[in-house]
Each structure stands twice: as C-alpha cells, then as structure tokens.
Amino acid sequence: MPRAAPRARSGSTTASSFRRGPGRRGRSPSVRLPPGRKIRAAVIAARPVPGRKAVAVDAVAARSLPSRPRATREGSGVVIDGVRLLTLANHLDERGRVVELFRADDDTLPAFGQVHVSTVRGGAIKAWHRHRKRTDVLACVQGLVRLGLYDPREESPTHLEVNELFLAPESPYRVLIPPRVWFGLKGIAEGESLVVVWTDEAYNPLVPDEERWDPLVNEIPFDWERRDR
C-alpha cells in the first residue's frame, strides 16, 4: 500500500526577533515560492535584536488585503515584540473551505482558558483594552476587521510601536497578543464580522483582568478613520 503524503503544518513565527530601526521601514524582498504554489508571500525584513536570529514571516496575501502588519508611525516597520502571526492551514475547493484554527498538537498556542466569539458590526469600534496577565489569540472567521496594536511597555524593544492588521477568512492567520499590549477592533465589512478568541485564562467577572481606554480619546497614535491610498 502506498504511504500517504505527510500532512502540511501551519507555519508560525514570533515578532520577538525584530525591533525598530529609527528612520527606516522594513522592506519586502522577493521570495521564491515552491513549484505550483500560486499564493503570494510577504516577508518582514527588520533589524534583529542583538543575540537573536531574525526569522522571516511568511504570511498569505489574499486578494488586496495586507499580508503583514503595517506600522502607522513614521520610521517604523516591525511587528510589536511578543506578537505572533501564524498562517493557518486553508483547505479550499469548489465546495468551500476548511480552515484549521486550533489543534491539540500546536505548541504555539498558550494554555487553554476559554474560547469565545467577538462580533463587530460594520463601522463599529471595540477598543482600546489590554490585560495584565492574559494572552489573547484572534482569528477572523467572517467579514473583515481592522486590528490596531500599541506597545506601552517601557522595557520592550518596540516601546511605543503601533501596528495595523486586517483579518479576514480570505487571509487566514492567527494573531497572538501578549499581556499589557493595547489592542482594538473595527468592523470594515458590511454587516457583522466574527472573531474567534482563544485566551489562556477564563474570564472572571468578579475580578476581571482588563483595562480600557476610550477608542478615540487616548494617547495612542492610531487613527481609526478610513484613508484611501
């Protein structure tokens, strides 16, 4: 009996391998794809943290959606330290698609605490909030959302960095957000967008691990308004 082909596994990376380069933007060098692979790949290029090896981010670019975070501050071009992007296995045919969100053998996931669904209506903003200890993992399964991230941690190599990502089923990847990083969502698609959230701690309504800021009145240099380019 012929042996079955080995199962493809999702690729992952960590943003801890990168830091800011003042006055420079990360460039996307050309990438040679394996024969038969038709998707586009994007690679984040940035100056590595001393003592750490830089790792390329291979992210799926579906349609016109950005395939990697876009920094919104001049002179920036790297992913916030501790934020991880994981390209999800996406099985697509004429009947539809199957996207593998979470697997028991996935060592990139934090400990299981809770899974919930967060919905965002078109034009609505759910921001800003962060957790002191909790780690969140986000994946959009319906619609299109804009994810904003801000790093206030003074000890972080990406202190004050701002990132912008767009999440949609057509560009299937997960985003891991470490503790103390501010984040928020805006619904871009018409109707309601669905975001699945994995956390390493169950929500405790009596002692919630959560801090909030007003979505528009705050010290975060992030503009939620649409800007056509």
The 3-state secondary structure of 42-92, one letter per residue? ECCCCCECCCCCCCCCCEEECCCCCCCCEECCCCCCCCCCCCEEEECCEEE
**Rounded to 5, what percent of the chain is helix, strand, coil?**
0, 35, 65
Please tell me the distance from the alpha carbon of residue 36 to that of residue 127, in angstroms, as a whole number.
Answer: 41
Q: What confidence score (pLDDT) does residue 70 get?
A: 54
Q: Confidence class of residue 133 from pLDDT cuts 50, 70 and 90?
A: very high
The residue ranges of every structural domain in the chain are: 12-212
Q: Return phi, psi of residue 114, to 5°.
A: -170, 150
What pLDDT digit, counting tens, does each position of 35-75 carry? 544 333 332 323 333 443 333 333 333 334 444 555 444 43
Cα→Cα distances 135→19, 54, 80, 113, 198, Å: 21, 23, 14, 10, 8
CATH superfamily, domain at 12-212: Jelly Rolls (2.60.120.10)
**Is the pLDDT at 3 greater than 70, yes or no?**
no
pLDDT reading at 167 higher than 90: yes
Average pLDDT of every residue of the chain: 76
**For residues 186 and 145, is the Cβ–Cβ distance under 8 A?**
yes
